[in-house]
């Protein structure tokens, strides 16, 4: 065949250039080789990582054994000391009684599962997905979550401890897996129910049934079981008798448990609808915590847990030595003052209202925020709720100084453009509608419906004129007032601390301790730091780190000191003259809650800030009651018994220390102007602070300072 016989003349074939090297058969695959190498490397790393994880899992499973019950499973005592090292109290009478699972009603068991792990009977001992999800939520700030199953919680309670460390979590993981293989679900659930902490020093479901409902676990009904199950999330916080301000959260958690039972088919919709919240009985404390000791221990425990120093379950496990900031001499002086001015005068047999009288008080050192004394009630074993830390009574007019502080801090002006100073005139007419407020009309009444006409801010503070301070709150801006109160020390979570004109009248329900901390900020020229109740704490000889208390300038010195200047006048010539028994320069403010359900006096010297409240509460129902007729008086107001307690305590607490005057740096315009002529017939008003002839046209009352100061 000729060379051209197999070739078409129209083919596209071209002869190879003889000067170029011959092509390699794999040239087309060369660009793919780096990608293949990367894939092979990644696959190798993945396989290696899998082998390492498998090896680590196998090693952990083989090396970690199920240990005997830990020492913390049997709680120890905690020792509490005064600041000087003298004994204050010792707790630790552990309330625990184990029961068999078949003694726990089925509905109660199911309530616990609805609260903690609804698929417990079908799920594995550990849930890695939940653990990763909880860790991610914690890291990303969505709230701290455990991700632990009931089995893991039982392991932590009985075999390990509550410390948040990686090594403990790793041990918990492997022990839970082994326990899930070696024990039945019923055994694990029984152990969990007998070791869980329910608050009130009650360990286990039987102790909880006794502590909250005064009955054995076998007698619990579904609603009661659901409430006890709710407590597992936050035992003390959800105890509605000791923390009535958290009742809504506790009830919401109770609803969550019951709804979960319906979802799982464990409770019929009809039974769910018929269920009513089962209020627990009043807590009964151990006699070792009688008198003030129980209140002080309770406040210290809440301080430790609220500030993340020790978690509640670990603290309940005992073994801690806690030195408090409380001083025994001042504590005794406070108790004596309340005994003298209130307790010794109660006569419930002849005066039924005396049954309602409760007293709370707290004293704080302005220099460092340390709580030096506290009065929680007549006796911890009789009245379990701490009246010094509860947050369910209105603070009344003791809130008004914060409005004026906010005015100075923000350089506020009246509706007419006048700077707000102690001598700025306001219309004190009763029921005067506030101006410049875009919300619902607001026209608060003055006490006893008194009208004062034009009156200076200082005099309006002396007389606690609601019409003036409601208008001032609008002039300053209710949001500014709220921010200033929080900066001074009132918690932002305080109920009814709302940015509206009514904020000036003290509708908020801050605690006595909260208010003492805020007034201590004023006494410290506007410097504030979180109050403290603990000097040092150790466990088994090992010191526990306490958070540092960084003091900051919460408001300007001029704002704090100018407020102090007008509060001095309250004690010298206003509604708080009974506090003069302290015998030294003092500033303060009286306050009365709505319907006279509480009367307050909040005051301070340069060395000590103290707040006293007398509250009305029915001992049977726990409802708030008016104090009309209590202590043999038609009315109990802040300038009466609370101011008397304050004066008596302050005198004794500071006995032996030289009296100090306030060193004040006032805002521009706060110096006293020339005293205007006193209108005819108004002398009695200046002397007594009562409304009288000429009140409608009166200017600021002259300052009346005790001689020799």
Query: Which residues belong to the active site?
Result: 116, 397
Three-state SS annotation for 340-400: HHCHHHCCCCCCHHHHHEEEEEEEECCCCCEEEEEECCCCCCCCCCCCCCCCCCCCHHHHH
Rounded CA-CA distance 222/220 in Å is: 7
Look at residues 639, 652, 405, 390 and name the one whose alpha carbon lies nearest to residue 519: 405
3 state DSSP class of 506: coil
695 and 453 Cβ atoms separated by less than 8 Å? yes
599 CB contacts (<8 Å, ≥6 apart)? 396, 590, 591, 592, 593, 613, 614, 627, 636, 637, 638, 640, 641, 642
Return the HEC string of 609-671. EEEEEEEEECCCCCCECCCCCHHHCCCCCCCCHHHHHHHHHHHHHCCCCCCCCCCCCCCCCCC
Cβ atoms of 446 and 430 closer than 8 Å: yes
The beta strand positions in 94-230, using DSSP E, are 95-96, 202-203
Roughly how many angstroms between the first and final C-alpha of the chain, as a whole number?
A: 137
Q: Which two tokens stand for residue 30?
A: 């060369």
Alpha-carbon gap, residue 333 to 652, rounded angstroms? 6
- 10 Å Cβ neighbour count for 321? 17
3-state secondary structure of 275: coil
d(CA 198, CA 207) in angstroms, rounded, equals: 9
Q: Of 65, 93, 58, 95, nearest to 159 (Cα)? A: 65
């Amino acid at each position: 065949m000729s060379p051209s016989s197999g070739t078409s003349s129209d083919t596209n074939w071209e002869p190879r250039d003889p000067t170029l090297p011959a092509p390699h058969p794999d040239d087309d695959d060369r660009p793919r080789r780096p990608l293949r190498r990367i894939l092979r490397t990644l696959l190798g790393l993945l396989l290696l990582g899998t082998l390492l994880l498998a090896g680590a899992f196998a090693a952990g499973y083989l090396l970690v054994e199920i240990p005997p019950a830990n020492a913390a499973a049997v709680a120890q005592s905690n020792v509490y000391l005064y600041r000087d090292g003298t004994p204050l109290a010792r707790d630790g009478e552990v309330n625990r009684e184990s029961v068999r699972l078949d003694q726990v009603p089925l509905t109660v068991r199911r309530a616990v599962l609805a609260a903690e792990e609804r698929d417990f009977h079908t799920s594995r001992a550990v849930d890695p997905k939940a653990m990763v999800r909880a860790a991610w939520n914690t890291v990303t700030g969505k709230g701290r979550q455990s991700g632990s199953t009931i089995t893991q919680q039982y392991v932590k309670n009985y075999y390990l401890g509550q410390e948040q460390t990686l090594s403990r979590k790793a041990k918990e993981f492997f022990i839970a897996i082994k326990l899930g293989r070696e024990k039945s679900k019923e055994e694990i659930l029984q152990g969990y129910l007998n070791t869980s902490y329910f608050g009130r020093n009650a360990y286990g479901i039987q102790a909880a049934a006794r502590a909250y409902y005064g009955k054995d676990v076998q007698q619990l009904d579904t609603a009661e079981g659901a409430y006890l199950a709710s407590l597992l999330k936050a035992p003390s916080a959800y105890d509605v008798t000791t923390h009535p301000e958290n009742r809504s959260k506790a009830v919401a958690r109770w609803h969550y448990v019951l709804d979960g039972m319906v979802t799982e088919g464990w409770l019929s919709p009809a039974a769910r609808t018929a269920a009513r919240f089962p209020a627990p009985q009043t807590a009964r404390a151990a006699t070792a915590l009688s008198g003030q000791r129980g209140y002080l221990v309770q406040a210290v425990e809440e301080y430790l847990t609220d500030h993340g120093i020790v978690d509640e379950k670990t603290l309940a496990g005992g073994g801690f030595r806690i030195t408090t900031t409380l001083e025994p001499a001042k504590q005794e002086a406070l108790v004596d003052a309340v005994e003298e001015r209130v307790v010794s005068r109660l006569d419930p047999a002849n005066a039924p209202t005396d049954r309602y009288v409760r007293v709370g008080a707290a004293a704080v050192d302005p220099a460092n925020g340390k709580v030096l004394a506290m009065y929680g009630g007549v006796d911890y074993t009789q009245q379990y709720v701490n009246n010094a830390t509860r947050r369910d009574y209105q603070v009344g007019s003791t809130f008004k100084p914060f409005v004026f502080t906010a005015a100075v801090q923000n350089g506020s002006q009246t509706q007419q453009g006048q700077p707000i100073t102690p001598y700025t005139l306001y219309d004190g007419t009763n029921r005067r509608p506030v101006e410049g407020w875009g919300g619902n009309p607001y026209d608060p009444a003055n006490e006893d419906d008194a009208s004062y006409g034009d009156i200076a801010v200082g005099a309006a503070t002396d007389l606690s004129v609601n019409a003036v301070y409601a208008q001032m709150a609008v002039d300053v801006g209710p949001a500014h007032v709220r921010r200033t109160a929080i900066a001074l020390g009132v918690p932002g979570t305080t109920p009814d601390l709302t940015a509206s004109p009514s904020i000036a009248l003290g509708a908020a329900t801050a605690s006595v301790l909260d208010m003492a901390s805020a007034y201590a900020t004023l006494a410290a020229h506007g410097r504030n730091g979180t109050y403290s109740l603990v000097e040092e704490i150790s466990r088994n000889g090992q010191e526990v780190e306490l958070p540092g208390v960084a003091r900051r300038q919460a408001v300007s010195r001029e704002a704090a000191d100018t407020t102090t200047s007008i509060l001095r006048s309250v004690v010298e010539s206003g509604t708080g003259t009974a506090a003069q028994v302290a015998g030294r320069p003092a500033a303060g403010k009286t306050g009365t809650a709505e319907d006279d359900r509480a009367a307050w006096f909040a005051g301070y010297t340069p060395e000590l800030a103290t707040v006293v409240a007398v509250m009305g509460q029915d001992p049977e129902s726990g409802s708030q009651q008016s104090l009309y007729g209590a202590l043999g008086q038609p009315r109990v107001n802040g300038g009466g018994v609370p101011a008397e307690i304050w004066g008596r305590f302050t005198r004794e607490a500071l006995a032996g220390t030289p009296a100090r005057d306030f060193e004040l740096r006032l805002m521009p315009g706060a110096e006293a102007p020339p005293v205007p002529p006193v209108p005819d017939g108004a002398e009695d008003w200046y002397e007594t602070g009562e409304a009288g002839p000429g009140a409608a046209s009166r200017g600021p009352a002259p300052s009346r300072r005790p001689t020799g100061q």
